Amino acid sequence: MNNLEPNPRTAAILMTYQCVAECDECCFSCSPRLKGNSLNFGKIKSFLDKIKHIESIKVVVFSGGECFINFKLLVKSIRYAHDLGFLTRCVTNGFWGTSIESAREKIQILKYNGLNEINFSTGDSHQKFIPVECVLHCAIASVEQGMLTCIAVETNSSKKFKVEDFVNHPLYTKYIQGQKYSKLLKVMPTIWVSFHTNTVYKFDKKLLSGNNEGCDGIFDTVALEPRGDVVGCCGLTSNDISELHLGKIDRVELNKVLSSHHRDFLKAWIFVDGPKKIVETASKWMGKEAPFFAHKCLYCAYLYNNKQLLGTIRDNYESVKEEVLTRYLEKVVIYNSILN
């Protein structure tokens, strides 16, 4: 990696597409039935050994699917990442918090083996499968152990469960509110969009503001997904974009494929302006009105899967290329300076 490329800061390991839940609009269509879509330790170790040579990567995130389904593998992988010098984070739905005591037991094991942060997802869709009390049990155990903890609450116009409902829950007020460790817990709304249906939701404009910005995520994260693919980005629609899948972990030289990833002009343009502005620009070139999507990842999937739009970009990108690449280099300098 070099100073003319936006060096990745985060590595993500999607351990499985299996989940104990089957939420509507899950971005990866996770399900209890997807038992064969999981990583083994050999692939995880290979990925961690390779990213160790990318000095800019400081954090490894373990997710899924549901990464706690194979708890022994999760613990072993966190320990290995920790021993390599990485900070570690988990993303989970908290199904394992059936009681405060059982949650404390697992949190203690995870902390002992090097886990630094844990994130939970909850809301109407998750709670069809996982009671919010399970998430609260886990959150209580986590902050008690001094661990940074984040609760992401599904949010759109149709969702009844709100951030306020979490912080007003009796378990929260009894075990977390007013405690010194309450500062370790962040409860935040996260946009819940439609991936697989024609459902249209309404959103607070504050949640949509990031759509108008450049997308750091396309270069900020390198991921390993359950089939062994190295993915340049860990966005919600990354499995719908073949151009983001860079090769199999047991076959790729990571530095080479990432450098090739960074030299792709369309990806550089996404990094600078975001897919929404590119869709709007290309639509204008076509003399058409740009579609509206609630999330920048949906714009990205539309961009890469619309052959007419891609053809228009190929025919016209020279008119913006020099200006975009100038701003790209300016952003890379600022972006990488933050790492140093």
Confidence at residue 204, expressed as pLDDT on a 0 to 100 scale: 62
189 plus 305 within the same structural domain: no
189 plus 321 within the same structural domain: no
- Its domain, for residue 239, covers 10-261
Asked if 88 and 62 count as a contact pair (C-beta separation under 8 A), the reply is yes
How is 46-104 classified by DSSP, letter by letter? HHHHHHTT-TT--EEEEESS-TTTTHHHHHHHHHHHHHTT-EEEEEE--TT-SSHHHHH
**Residue that finishes a domain, picked among 261, 280, 315:** 261
Digitized pLDDT (tens) for each residue of the chain, 340 residues in all? 445 677 899 999 999 999 999 988 787 888 999 887 799 999 999 999 999 999 999 999 999 999 999 999 999 999 999 999 999 999 999 999 999 999 999 999 999 999 999 999 999 999 999 999 999 999 999 999 999 999 999 887 788 999 999 999 999 999 999 999 999 999 998 877 666 556 665 656 565 556 788 999 999 999 999 999 999 998 888 989 999 999 999 999 998 999 899 899 999 999 999 999 999 999 999 999 999 887 888 899 999 999 999 999 999 999 999 999 999 999 988 877 765 5
Confidence at residue 157, expressed as pLDDT on a 0 to 100 scale: 77
The domain tally of the chain equals: 2
Q: Determine the angle formed by the axes of helices 100-112 and 71-83, rounding to 10 degrees.
A: 30
199 plus 311 within the same structural domain: no
57 plus 148 within the same structural domain: yes
Is there a domain that residue 5 lies in? no
Tokens linked to 304: 């890469």
Measured between its terminal Cα atoms, the distance across the chain in Å is: 14
Amino acid identity, residue 102? S
271 plus 222 within the same structural domain: no
Confidence at residue 207, expressed as pLDDT on a 0 to 100 scale: 55
CA 7 to mean position of chain CA atoms: 17
197 plus 107 within the same structural domain: yes
Burial of 338 (0-12, 13-18, 19+ CB in 10 A): exposed
Give me the CATH number covering residue 178: 3.20.20.70
